[in-house]
Chains A and B, each alone.
Chain A
Amino acid sequence: MNYVIALVLGAAFGFSLNKAGLTKYHRIANQFRFKDMMVMKYIMTALVVAMIGLYALHGLGLVTFPTVPATYLVGNVFGGLIFGIGMSLVGY
């Protein structure tokens, strides 16, 4: 049952990525050139919608938050730096 949920949610995830055009090289590359702000608009919209929904549900006591990625300053920034090289280069 859990796997069915994963499959369906994954399909919704992939579908929305495709419809936003994030599966295309020029979209990602142009975000880093600031010629095309689609990626930023997409990520920020997703964040805002999910934040409102999750914190509202949390406030109503309907969900408990899962364990979240740990914060360790150097690792997060350094990992982000390496990640950005790959992302900007190949546009995935």
Chain B
Amino acid sequence: MNWIIRQFKQETWSPYAAGALLGVTGILAVLLAHTVLGASGAFENLAGLIGKAIAPKTFDNMYFNFIMPPGITWGVILLVGVFFGGMIGAATSRTLKWGKPDAALDDAQWKRIFGPQPWKRWALGFLGAIILEYGAGIAGGCTSGLLISGGMLLVPAAYLFMVGMFASGIVVALIVYRSRY
């Protein structure tokens, strides 16, 4: 029992232990709910929901009508769970930054590369997330929804996606870090 508590208080687990936990979660998702884990689709469901309320004409197209129907789907609830699960993880290791002065930006490496201003983190985060979500929309899923969930069912799409993700990810890292790569 003490051992379990000690493990919970650790900030970083072995990637093999944490990965196994995710693997079991993925199995349970298929077994109990007959669906796969995913994150990016839920944002599109929510975007569709908001978009249909504000500008029904613009959102009245193939994509939001058939491919990603708006609504509070299973994925949206899953995303709420992910948010709180992450918080529980941080709280158990006492690294929760809620309300702390450095909550917006605490990553030493980011500060070294981009500077200490929190607004840069917000701005780049917003911009990067748009790029990321757009790519996920084209590919049909994100790291969790396509790479992990598709990969565990041996879908070729997942591995194609990984090739693309790493190809451009490495190039961008090269550009950002240049001589420090």
Contact = CB atoms under 8 A, between A and B. Distances in A.
B136 interface: yes
Interface residues of A, number: 73
Q: Is the interface of A mostly helix, strand, loop or mixed?
A: helix
Interface in B100-143: 107-110, 124-125, 127-143
A79 B173 contact: no
Given A20-B18, A47-B151, A65-B153, A76 B82 contact: no
Interface string A72-92: 110111111111111111111
A18 B130 CA distance: 23
A76 B132 CA distance: 13
A57 B31 contact: yes
A83 B172 CA distance: 11
Given A9-B81, A69-B146, A89 B128 contact: yes
Nearest to A75: B138
Interface in A16-71: 16-21, 23-26, 29-33, 38-39, 41-51, 53-54, 57, 62-66, 68-71
Contacts of B16: 41, 45
Interface string B20-34: 111111111111111
B140 A15 contact: no
Nearest to A41: B15
Contacts of B124: 89-90
A63 B33 CA distance: 11
A9 B29 contact: yes
A81 B167 contact: yes
Contact of A88 (B80, B83, B173): B173
A39 B107 CA distance: 17
B135 A79 contact: yes
A7 B153 contact: no
Nearest to B161: A80
A65 B105 CA distance: 41
Contact of A13 (B22, B87, B128, B135): B22
A41 B176 CA distance: 24
B166 interface: yes
B138 A5 contact: no
